[in-house]
Structure 1
């Protein structure tokens, strides 16, 4: 079937617009990376745009040699892995019964869930409640409050509803109980939605900031975001002022290197789940 001139023009315009939008998102990252790999004179003089000027890795040597940064990196890795895996499990366990007519109060539960998405708790009562649970200055303050997100839950509920019930009936006839059906039948068929919300959860946990600011004062528990804020707000004090004239890096190149370290892991993960993410992101777009 031949494509009409109008469709070709429309497709070409789409490619151009999407390419330009992609560049607007990519250029800031490339710019920051270029600054981190430039000399301090070039960075201070505003000579760096998309390519390093007077290539220099001193800022990276300084950043990668800081044990406190690696400690914060480890906090992020732990929080992201535990939070994402735990969130996926709990979201599936909550979503599955909400798709069953046998669960007679499912509509009431869904209404209560949606209310929490619309009305956010006030900060002070929220802080006091979580503190009363012993989460103040605890790494689990960065994990537990974000286990279940309403948007992610509704995506999973929508996907589970689209699965053929005949598969579950066959599993029931083979003697499988509800947990076995969820684990061995439903979840293997739900890779697209699990990859989608898994990416959402991983990004949320990796960029954790709000709960860190509220509940974490122990610097040993600082995630990368708080450590990055410390670098940006206190970077002048991180450098020995007596030797600043002899150093090959400055606060700007240090900040840029720290930003790249904080953003790079999530960027590297995305290509591995892209095929599932694209399919999962269109859930509910077409209803049979």
Structure 2
């Protein structure tokens, strides 16, 4: 069907605006990558735009030899994998429960869920609660307090409500209990929203910073984001006691290399799961 002149203007205007927004997000990352791959003399002379000058991998060779960075990466991987599985489990179980109209407490629980979206706990009572639970300076402080997201819970609950009730009734007639119905029937039908919410949780755990800076003092338990902050704030942390001999890197090239190192896994993974964002979020956010 042929579009009118006004529709074409609107169509291409959208492309232009979206392209401009994409560039504002993409070009800074390209600039950071270019600095990390350039020689320190060119970086100090501010000669880097969006392409490396005097290309070198020296900064990456230096940071990849640092054991504390790999330790932080291991913490991130553990927190992301275990945290995502934990969050998905409790989100799915709670969402399935409150999606049932026969569950009398569902409305009261939803009011409480929405309340947490509006009012956040004060920092000091929050800190004292985590300390009282014995999770201070523990890797579980990076997982359990972030266990459930009200936004993700609402998406999953709304999606579950769209599944025909006849499916659950047929499962009960075949002798399935609630757990078997959920894990054997409902979840296989919910792959798009599971992928969407799982990606939301995984990105949140990978980028965890607030809970790390609030609850973690042991540097061996620092996640990657806190280690990147340490490298950026304190140049001696990343450079160490280097001699005054000219090196093929400087604090700025090393810092940008660490930034790229910490963001690269999500940048690589995101394109493969991006299709689930629109599909899953749409299915879970509009009730028919």
Gaps of at least 5 residues in structure 1 are: none
| Match runs of 1:73-152 below 5 Å | 73-152=73-152
Whole-angstrom distance in 2 between the partners of 1:286 and 1:256: 41
Q: Secondary structure at the match of 1:134?
A: coil
Asked if the contact 2:42–2:48 (Cα under 8 Å) also holds between the matched residues in 1, the reply is yes
1:51-106 superposed Cα distances (whole Å, 9 cap, x missing partner): 00000111111110000000000000000000011101110000001011221111
| Match runs of 1:11-30 below 5 Å | 11-30=11-30
Whole-angstrom distance in 2 between the partners of 1:282 and 1:47: 45
Whole-angstrom distance in 2 between the partners of 1:286 and 1:119: 25
Whole-angstrom distance in 1 between the partners of 2:26 and 2:252: 20
Whole-angstrom distance in 2 between the partners of 1:237 and 1:159: 47
Q: Which residue is 1:31 aligned to? A: 31
Q: Which residue is 1:217 aligned to? A: 217
C-alpha displacement at 1:173, in angstroms? 1.7
Whole-angstrom distance in 1 between the partners of 2:100 and 2:42: 63
Q: Secondary structure at the match of 1:203?
A: helix
Gaps of at least 5 residues in structure 2 are: none
1:4-42 superposed Cα distances (whole Å, 9 cap, x missing partner): 222122111111111111111110111100000000011
Whole-angstrom distance in 1 between the partners of 2:203 and 2:62: 26
Tell me if 1:68 matches 2:68: yes
Asked if the contact 1:35–1:253 (Cα under 8 Å) also holds between the matched residues in 2, the reply is yes
Q: Secondary structure at the match of 1:261?
A: helix
Q: Which residue is 2:49 aligned to? A: 49
Tell me if 1:198 matches 2:198: yes
Asked if the contact 2:40–2:249 (Cα under 8 Å) also holds between the matched residues in 1, the reply is yes
Whole-angstrom distance in 1 between the partners of 2:110 and 2:285: 20
Whole-angstrom distance in 1 between the partners of 2:9 and 2:19: 15
State the number of aligned residues. 288
Q: CA RMSD of the aligned region, Å? A: 1.4
Whole-angstrom distance in 1 between the partners of 2:141 and 2:283: 31
Tell me if 1:280 matches 2:280: yes
